[in-house]
Amino acid sequence: MTRLALVTGGAGFVGSHLVDGLLAAGWAVRVLDDFSSGRESNLAHVLSRIELIRGDIADAATTARAVEGVEVVFHEGAVPSVPRSVAEPVRTNRVNVDGTLNVLECARQAGARRVVFAASSSAYGDTEVLPKIETMAPNPRSPYALQKYAGEVYCRLYHELYGLETVALRYFNIFGPRQDPASEYAAVVPRFATACLRGEPARIHGDGEQSRDFTFVADAVHANLLAADAPQAPGHVINVAGGRRISLNELLATLQKITGTNVAAVHGPARVGDVRHSLADLGRAKSLLGFEPAISLEDGLRRTVASLEAP
């Protein structure tokens, strides 16, 4: 019997890639998305193979309908932006906290076996200790980081109190094809790549020496597929990352090499709520999931650039 998965936020960047991965692995897939940030074009190639529900994860009736008969919920739905959470803390809290609690409760009521939650490395905050290991005390520096951390705690409580299998995957700076370069809150990889392809200056918040552990989206999808069935994973928070860090200045230099350009870097003020350095410890991911990143940073960047060049 084919297993049914629900992907909340399945029309988004990570969510749509996860839909592809689940279909390739033989799952039946249902998507719940309100298209506030997700795009129909991300699902155009699979619309005939999935069930699509348009709606809000914070709406109980809609989410209850979406989880009917579902074995595993992959909860990707969110407003995934530190700057937007700083600008709109109440709205983002409704989606990222109330919506997550609603998904957990509806999954419990429907008898779903497991919820895999898209958590965030931003929960670690700006500690100087590297690499970031899951046993470190969280120190959120933005509403988004706090909201994602609250989701982790709710996941743990639903596992401990109700026996719902929950796994929280702490994503580290995921990038890849379909990541929107045009948004006001666009992530750094598509912004830099687009600037290089257009021959325009690349804007850097701060001095550019801040570092990130970038994760290619295919590796994040692989971690989710592993998390759906890993027997020891429920109740845990698990880092998902590339396992190496690079400064934003080095990132821009790498993209210039890939694109054969030499665009100027324009430095502006550092963003409120950003962390200085980020690097993941992947020991728990390896031991509990059997996960190791498979795509090198440069290979992932080349694939991302190619997707932006495609007509």
Dump pLDDT digits (tens) for 137-147: 999 999 999 99
Per-residue pLDDT at 174: 96
Residue 184 has pLDDT above 80, yes or no: no
The CA-CA-CA angle for residues 222, 217, 274, to 5°, reads 125
Mean pLDDT of the chain: 96
Nearest Cα neighbor of 255 from 311, 158, 209, 190 is: 190
Question: Per-residue pLDDT averaged across 161-176, rounded?
Answer: 97
| C-alpha distance from residue 193 to each of 235, 255, 264 (Å) | 37, 6, 13
End-to-end Cα distance, the chain: 39
Question: Per-residue pLDDT averaged across 295-309, rounded?
Answer: 97
CA 188 to chain centre: 14
Residue 106 has pLDDT above 70, yes or no: yes
CATH class of 4-174+216-241+276-294: alpha beta
Question: Per-residue pLDDT averaged across 25-31, rounded?
Answer: 98
pTM for the structure as a whole = 0.96
Q: What is the largest CA-CA distance in the chain?
A: 56
